[in-house]
Amino acid sequence: MLRKATGAALLLLPLTVLPAIAVDRKAFLIGFAVGGGTLDCFGCHSSGAGSVAVHLGGSISKKATLAAEFFQVIHAESFETRYSSQTTVFLQYWVLSRLWVGGGPGYGNSSIQFGNVTVSEPQAFAVALQVGVEVWQRGRFALDLRGRYGRIFTDPEATSHIVALAGFTWY
């Protein structure tokens, strides 16, 4: 356990010394991210899922933003395509000038498509948690790498995903 914590600390250490050009996080923001990871739904586990996220909102302080995020993860194989969508209210807080954490509640649903037939779960409560690193900052733009965990609390089983994304945000 100590070895993993030390490794994580060493990976994050450069973030404290990298020169950061302050991003002007004022008022409106809009962003987009793409990536991939895993999708667990309907008693299955699908790796190799693609994902996309769009967020828009605004700054509430120099270190925090509040946004709506629209997210979807998709996995296709043979004659079957699995979808999981979430809409969340997202609070994002910068712990360091380049490192942020965030998350929030919302709603989501999952579905499986077999050819022309789609079986959908009803919409249910959902949550999302993220952590990201802004690897490039210039003026009102930032490019980041992020990890995202999301869960939709459907009956009888929950749908969840873990993905890595690359995205940009205009503040």
Q: What is the DSSP string of 6-75?
A: HHHHHHHHHHHHS--PPP---SEEEEEEEEEEEEEETTEEEEEEEEEEEEEEEEEETTEEEEEEEEEEEE
Residue with tokens 């828009």: 56
Per-residue pLDDT tens over the stretch 61-88 = 989 999 999 999 999 888 888 889 999 9
Residue 57 pLDDT: 97
The C-alpha atoms of residue 88 and residue 126 are separated, in whole angstroms, by 8
Question: Does residue 32 have a pLDDT over 70?
Answer: yes
The C-alpha atoms of residue 93 and residue 116 are separated, in whole angstroms, by 42
Question: Does residue 113 have a pLDDT over 70?
Answer: yes
| Residue whose C-alpha is closest to residue 29's, from 139, 140, 136, 134 | 140
The C-alpha atoms of residue 63 and residue 80 are separated, in whole angstroms, by 42
Per-residue pLDDT tens over the stretch 6-26 = 444 444 545 444 444 556 677
Q: How many CB atoms lie within 10 A of CB 145?
A: 15
Q: Give this prediction's pTM.
A: 0.82
The C-alpha atoms of residue 26 and residue 171 are separated, in whole angstroms, by 6
The C-alpha atoms of residue 151 and residue 87 are separated, in whole angstroms, by 11
**Residue type present at position 38:** T
Ordered structural domains, the chain, with CATH: 2-170 (2.40.160.20)
